[in-house]
Chain A
């Protein structure tokens, strides 16, 4: 690109209204006995306005919605809310394409206790309408919540493009599924979607592949049209065009450029795996963390030096983890007890990443309040709720 083109592009950007780069936000603040807007209640709700927000008790399933006519689109919804018991509430809205009364919904789980700030990218949800005319929440029977605040945010076109580019370069980490598939470059169109890209599996995002395919299809169609309508117009020009710009070569050139861009994206993700492992595991002597396994390998290596001399031992590890299998591998031929096998006196127990397990006053391992071992002694504490314990002979 020459300097004039760069300068023109800069001037074009500076002339764009600043609003083109700013997210627009609308807030409904329910604090200080305030109820902004006109909210409609269906079902048997009791809603009471108080200083900390509106208290809603649902005696039956129902909704708490309002008609809206905002000057901006809605891409992100943020709720500040608390619940007395864990509550599966829903964001509900009316998609303009559906008949009146029909509502789209997205479930969110509010844990019991403290005030929660929940931010949701709505743009990837089926039936979501950024220009919806009705928005609110739905509660199941028995719900008891305090809604303090509701924010809705809309992104401009340029911001959405910018966020899509940023998301394209947002990398996944090496997870248990990475050996079987890679999500590849994904696109979301707001910051919330990008920051929480891999929180949901599958991610709430679009595959960037569809845009690559679009470009390739466009290239192919363009070249074909040129071939048939321009290139063939006269024999002389067709011949000269074919010599200057071979169609297949041009297509493969575009294809190759996109391939290398894609390879760059995926290659950098691969290097990011290596960088993480080198920084958090290989180069560290203490506090080593290995991917989702956290400090497990430090525990396993240290415990294995003791357990390898035993015939059998017991393992307490979180469910759905391969920790027991790895311990078996590390200590072979010494092996962990399988389900149903009897614990014998003097046996070692390795507790791995189990904050629910501790040693009681009488020296037993307890999970919560339940004893799970005979009395014994702590042999070695590895930190992170991991330790080696031995029952007394």
Chain B
């Protein structure tokens, strides 16, 4: 029964997201049907819940069934209307959603793929069972994600409860509101029901990473990348527990991989459509976790701006197109992020996670480097992903830094560099030394790290194949 209500709860927000993707694609088809539904699911929920938050704050709409349905109906109507208007002109559209041709898989590859697929599915099903039937037990869930969701559900209103929640009140309300939506629909607080969405986010990011890789490499490498991500031990743990970093990782994957697709795109329409999707994802990430606003938004902006500037200098895009791309980004950013930023400022909420980033004094922190090394290379968190990636970055440095893959490389190096800087030079160091926060940052970047790794392997094998077949 819980499962039925859960599936029912997915329909409207995913439809909103699907329409949003359709509108952002405008007159082109840039993604595959399954990919579009998945994108719709990932983007639709934060959009719906954040608009719900705004409607509550500014229009007093209650956080009950009427309130949620009103917001979703309005969003469906607006996006549906735009989509209808656009689709009438779709006969002019250039269809570009096809994926590169791939050689069929060999028999042994299929057998191994099947075994690893069943293995991965087993983990996902186990994770879903644990989420459905276990009580909540993780600190951030008890003190933030689920507690605030229950508060919204019981009170039917948004209150900061700073006297109880302290610094946690500064966390964006989006994820708790998503959980509130399921409870509101069910008319009852059900632990399993509100927690099940975490494993769906995990599955969604696997689908998205598959298509992100497949767009540039053969089926084999898309499957390898998906298998790697789906079985990284700490990513599985995060994906099948009630934390939000995997959800944020999905948004970052969309934001950066779409910027990468945009750079690789051969037509202006396709490039613009990918940029719009990228912009939507990074802007929505700012209302999901504080890192989205404080850390990732500036880095994505820098990387996309640099990429566009390079394309402009190579005469791949005109000045007008450059301005248009950023105009859309900036406009959407202001519309969505500004209310949340203003709300934070008005209520004295910090811009870091529970402690303000402006209060952090810079000083070298001993023992952090050792802790980071152990966590990254000598524990069971990421298998051998980092040695492999570092080796590939050295071996394939030209591809990693001087081809369009540089979009991924630059973003990842800047993001990891910023995180390491914060741990090495500020009081956030305790989170690295006690290992409470460091790997969380890697979790958020993991789909992109796997994507870059897999594409570099694919590229190295393609180059090898070419050279080995030289006469």
**Is there a chain A Cβ closer than 8 Å to B299's Cβ?**
no
Given A207-B378, A282-B133, A329-B136, A267–B231 Cβ distance below 8 Å?
A: yes
- Comparing B139-147, B170-178, B206-214, B352-360, the segment that makes contact with chain A is B139-147
Query: What 0/1 pattern do residues 15 to 37 of B give for CB contact below 8 A with A?
Result: 00000000000000000000000
Cβ–Cβ < 8 Å partners of B233 in chain A: 182, 184, 266-267, 269-270
Cβ–Cβ < 8 Å partners of B437 in chain A: 180
B436 engages A267 (CB within 8 Å):
no
**Is there a chain B Cβ closer than 8 Å to A177's Cβ?**
yes
A252 vs B164: C-alpha distance when bound (angstroms)? 53
A335 vs B460: C-alpha distance when bound (angstroms)? 59
Given A248-B460, A291-B137, A328-B147, A212–B231 Cβ distance below 8 Å?
A: no
**Is there a chain A Cβ closer than 8 Å to B237's Cβ?**
yes
B379 engages A333 (CB within 8 Å):
no
Complex: chain A residue closest to B431, CB-CB: A180
Among candidates A212, A246, A278, A281, residue contacting B468 with C-beta atoms closer than 8 Å = A246
Cβ–Cβ < 8 Å partners of B380 in chain A: 182-185, 262, 265-266, 269
Among candidates B123, B136, B155, residue contacting A333 with C-beta atoms closer than 8 Å = B155
Cβ–Cβ < 8 Å partners of A246 in chain B: 464, 468
B378 engages A209 (CB within 8 Å):
yes
**Is there a chain A Cβ closer than 8 Å to B202's Cβ?**
no
Complex: chain B residue closest to A213, CB-CB: B387
**Is there a chain B Cβ closer than 8 Å to A126's Cβ?**
no
Complex: chain B residue closest to A301, CB-CB: B135
Given A252-B457, A282-B133, A182–B237 Cβ distance below 8 Å?
A: yes
Among candidates B129, B142, B468, residue contacting A325 with C-beta atoms closer than 8 Å = B142
**Is there a chain B Cβ closer than 8 Å to A392's Cβ?**
no
Cβ–Cβ < 8 Å partners of B460 in chain A: 248
Given A322-B142, A329-B142, A255–B388 Cβ distance below 8 Å?
A: yes
**Is there a chain B Cβ closer than 8 Å to A242's Cβ?**
yes
A337 vs B116: C-alpha distance when bound (angstroms)? 51
CB proximity of B20 to chain A, nearest CB, Å: 31
Cβ–Cβ < 8 Å partners of B243 in chain A: 179
Query: What 0/1 pattern do residues 263 to 301 of B give for CB contact below 8 A with A?
Result: 000000000000000000000000000000000000000
**Is there a chain B Cβ closer than 8 Å to A157's Cβ?**
no
**Is there a chain B Cβ closer than 8 Å to A297's Cβ?**
yes
**Is there a chain B Cβ closer than 8 Å to A380's Cβ?**
no
Given A248-B461, A267-B231, A181–B126 Cβ distance below 8 Å?
A: no
A333 engages B154 (CB within 8 Å):
yes
B236 engages A270 (CB within 8 Å):
yes
CB proximity of A49 to chain B, nearest CB, Å: 47
A185 vs B134: C-alpha distance when bound (angstroms)? 26
Among candidates A185, A274, A326, A335, residue contacting B130 with C-beta atoms closer than 8 Å = A274
**Is there a chain B Cβ closer than 8 Å to A210's Cβ?**
yes
Cβ–Cβ < 8 Å partners of B116 in chain A: 260
**Is there a chain B Cβ closer than 8 Å to A293's Cβ?**
yes
**Is there a chain B Cβ closer than 8 Å to A319's Cβ?**
no
**Is there a chain A Cβ closer than 8 Å to B305's Cβ?**
no
Q: Give residues of chain A (233-282) contacting chain B, Cβ–Cβ below 8 Å.
A: 242-243, 246, 248-249, 252, 255, 258-260, 262-263, 265-267, 269-271, 273-274, 277-278, 281-282
**Is there a chain B Cβ closer than 8 Å to A64's Cβ?**
no
Given A290-B137, A329-B147, A329-B150, A207–B384 Cβ distance below 8 Å?
A: no
B119 engages A267 (CB within 8 Å):
yes
Given A209-B377, A249-B461, A249-B464, A297–B135 Cβ distance below 8 Å?
A: yes
CB proximity of A216 to chain B, nearest CB, Å: 7
Q: Give residues of chain B (234-258) contacting chain A, Cβ–Cβ below 8 Å.
A: 234, 236-238, 241, 243
**Is there a chain A Cβ closer than 8 Å to B261's Cβ?**
no
A265 vs B374: C-alpha distance when bound (angstroms)? 19
Cβ–Cβ < 8 Å partners of A180 in chain B: 435-437, 439-440
B379 engages A181 (CB within 8 Å):
yes
A223 vs B435: C-alpha distance when bound (angstroms)? 37
**Is there a chain B Cβ closer than 8 Å to A169's Cβ?**
no
CB proximity of B265 to chain A, nearest CB, Å: 29
**Is there a chain B Cβ closer than 8 Å to A316's Cβ?**
no
**Is there a chain A Cβ closer than 8 Å to B383's Cβ?**
yes
Query: What 0/1 pattern do residues 324 to 351 of B give for CB contact below 8 A with A?
Result: 0000000000000000000000000000
**Is there a chain A Cβ closer than 8 Å to B138's Cβ?**
yes
Given A259-B384, A326-B142, A332-B147, A177–B464 Cβ distance below 8 Å?
A: no
Among candidates B130, B375, B384, residue contacting A277 with C-beta atoms closer than 8 Å = B130
A-B contact pairs, 24 of them (CB 8 A): A177-B435, A179-B241, A179-B243, A180-B440, A182-B233, A182-B380, A185-B380, A213-B387, A249-B461, A252-B461, A263-B231, A263-B383, A265-B380, A269-B233, A270-B126, A270-B237, A291-B137, A293-B137, A322-B142, A326-B142, A328-B147, A329-B147, A332-B147, A333-B154
Q: Given A209-B378, A246-B464, A265-B380, output 14 extra A-B contacts at Cβ < 8 Å.
A: A180-B439, A210-B378, A213-B377, A213-B387, A216-B387, A246-B468, A267-B233, A270-B237, A273-B130, A282-B133, A291-B137, A325-B142, A329-B146, A329-B150
Which residues of A line the B interface, CB within 8 A?
A: 176-185, 207, 209-210, 212-213, 216, 242-243, 246, 248-249, 252, 255, 258-260, 262-263, 265-267, 269-271, 273-274, 277-278, 281-282, 290-291, 293, 297, 300, 322, 325-326, 328-329, 332-333, 335
